[in-house]
Amino acid sequence: MPFFMSNPTGITWLVAGLGNPDRKYQNTRHNAGFIAIDEVARQLGVSIDRKKFDALVVDVSLAGQRVLLMKPQTYMNLSGVSIEKAASFYKIPPEQVLVIFDDISLEPGKIRIRRKGSHGGHNGIRSIIDYLQSDNFPRVKLGVGERPNPNFDLADWVLSVFTQEERKALDDAASHCKEIAELTIQGNIEQAMNLYNS
């Protein structure tokens, strides 16, 4: 396959979970992507702790491919910076960049998988689209719940902490992300959608 010749490292996919790096954000709604990617790493028996591309990364084998798991450390609104650096370095096209992130339009524990699409008002996804100059990348949306009322400040809401019950629901959703990533990498994203889309 000529693709591998252009990428001698053998890494063919990026799987990135979005969030904010400071400890104070650990259990907040906006960090659902970090929580999920940490769970993928846990299931694979690795830690995402190497610093590269303004991110924490680990190189793993997933669905028979070499994959870079990533947690961008540029803060949510600049998530595209580190993802573009890694994609450019490994010559990975947008359609082989899987992004896991929070979605306030879904209840905690709900999952929605998409092959591509707009940013839908999510600043992390907006940044990735800007830096990759494409919206043609697969993504996994993890529900974190809607604001209590329309007047509740959106930034305050996404940076608020999960209740115990909400976190349990999110952890359950996160437990499926490894399989979703495997199916997506294998070219079976439709199967992943049928299994997990809420």
Say if residues 142 and 102 touch (Cβ distance below 8 Å): yes
- Strand-strand pairing, 111-114 and 97-103: unpaired
Which listed residue (30, 119, 122, 176) is catalytic?
30
132 Cβ contact partners less than 8 Å away, ≥ 6 residues apart:
80, 83, 84, 87, 94, 97
Say if residues 18 and 72 touch (Cβ distance below 8 Å): yes
Query: Per the structure block, which two tokens stand in for 3?
Result: 């693709």
Question: Rounded to whole angstroms, how far apart are CA atoms 15 and 79?
Answer: 13
176 is catalytic: no
Q: Which residues are catalytic?
A: 30
